[in-house]
Amino acid sequence: MRIYLTNAGAVTLLEPLDFKRLDVLVDPQPAEQLERLIARIGQREGNEHLRLSPAVLRFISGHAGEPDWENGFAAMISYASQAGWVDAQGNVRAHLTPNENQAVVSEDEFKAAMRSLPAGVSAITTGIGEAVGGMIVSSLTSISAEPPLVGFFVNVTCSMAAPLLENGRFVANILSDTHGTVMSAFLTEKQGPDRFKRGQWVEGQHGPVLADALSSIECDIVNTEVLGTHRMIVGKIRKSSVHAANPMVHFNSGTHRLEAV
Ligand SMILES: Cc1cc2nc3c(=O)[nH]c(=O)nc-3n(C[C@H](O)[C@H](O)[C@H](O)COP(=O)(O)O)c2cc1C
């Protein structure tokens, strides 16, 4: 098992079924960020080791409760205990391994690749009355049909990042090619009711609903995680509506109409 402390700010477990080793793979990253990640999973022991709680390993494994995994995990903890790596509190010692594989693309290469990705445009909304908020995203994506889940990514510096978490709910309104003014109001007006001056907005339980959106998808937030500059928001769909129209498509830094080929 390898806990991976990425410089994206996430904690993941690699090789959860390999009980022959236990270490913590660490991307190069600012010391403060690394210490925050370490605090989420255990305590530092000198420069080269951590103390990990078995409960943390069980939580991030994604396999706790499966009989085969439980047997392998119990054998690993028992082996570590005999080797003297488990302390009086039951915490296991694990080595910190620097990650040598750091080849990544530049920001320009990333942007060029992402400009090649056509995507729908959605107005994400949350709140009621004077406390409404909204933002434009092209990152809305389908996740799962059973249970019904969608997700999108919000920049942690965006004015919607905090209201989304406080309300715990949102509406994803998928824009048609007639919603240019709705989009520009969202992009140019200050956060709040001013962003809803254009378009047919009606109050909804999860946030403002755009009456003639291609689809309005009303969700409760069920999972979030910060990944690099953005926070992933996953919503369980409580209610949805659909209207036939042509989509607005974002591609190569501009908006387009869809044309049949
Ligand atoms: C077509 C388009 C797609 C966008 N997609 C996203 C997105 O997926 N996530 C995101 O955080 N911001 C996205 N943005 C930027 C936001 O709409 C917004 O402008 C930015 O987060 C600043 O928001 P604020 O003024 O409310 O703080 C997109 C902007 C455009 C024009």
Q: Give tens-digit pLDDT for 37-85.
A: 999 999 999 999 999 999 999 999 999 999 999 999 999 999 999 999 9
**34 shares its domain with 146:** no
**233 shares its domain with 119:** yes
pLDDT score for 101: 82
**118 shares its domain with 233:** yes
Which residue, of 80, 98, 116, is where some domain finishes? Answer: 98
- The first and second tokens of residue 84, run together, are 């003297």
pLDDT score for 260: 86
Residue 136 Cα to ligand 1 midpoint, Å, equals 5
**90 shares its domain with 111:** no
Which residue, of 77, 98, 119, is where some domain finishes? Answer: 98
**142 shares its domain with 58:** no
- The residue with tokens 């209610």 is 239
CB 141 near ligand 1, within 6 Å = no
**123 shares its domain with 202:** yes
The β-bridge partners of 206 are: none
Helix (H, G, I), strand (E, B) or coil at 140: coil
Atom 28 of ligand 1: nearest residue by CA position: 137
Neighbours of 97 (CB within 10 A): 15
CB 241 near ligand 1, within 6 Å = no
pLDDT per residue as tens digits for the range 178-187: 999 999 999 9
CB 153 near ligand 1, within 6 Å = yes
**82 shares its domain with 204:** no
Residue 164 amino acid letter: L
**94 shares its domain with 113:** no
| Residue numbers of the domain that contains 218 | 107-257
**81 shares its domain with 117:** no
Question: Is the pLDDT reported for residue 113 higher than 90?
Answer: yes
pLDDT average, residue stretch 134-147: 98
Pocket test for ligand 1, best of 124, 136, 160 (most atoms within 8 A of CB): 136
Which residue, of 40, 68, 98, is where some domain finishes? Answer: 98
**94 shares its domain with 130:** no
**172 shares its domain with 220:** yes
CB 158 near ligand 1, within 6 Å = yes
Q: What pTM did the predictor assign?
A: 0.92
Pocket test for ligand 1, best of 115, 155, 159 (most atoms within 8 A of CB): 155
Atom 23 of ligand 1: nearest residue by CA position: 158
Question: Is the pLDDT reported for residue 249 higher than 90?
Answer: yes
pLDDT per residue as tens digits for the range 73-103: 999 999 999 999 999 999 999 999 999 987 8
Atom 17 of ligand 1: nearest residue by CA position: 136
Q: Are 245 and 182 in contact (CB under 8 A)?
A: no
Question: For the chain, how many structural domains are there in total?
Answer: 2
pLDDT score for 102: 79
DSSP string for residues in 175-205 = -BTT-HHHHHHHHHSPSSGGGGSSS-EE--S
pLDDT average, residue stretch 167-171: 98
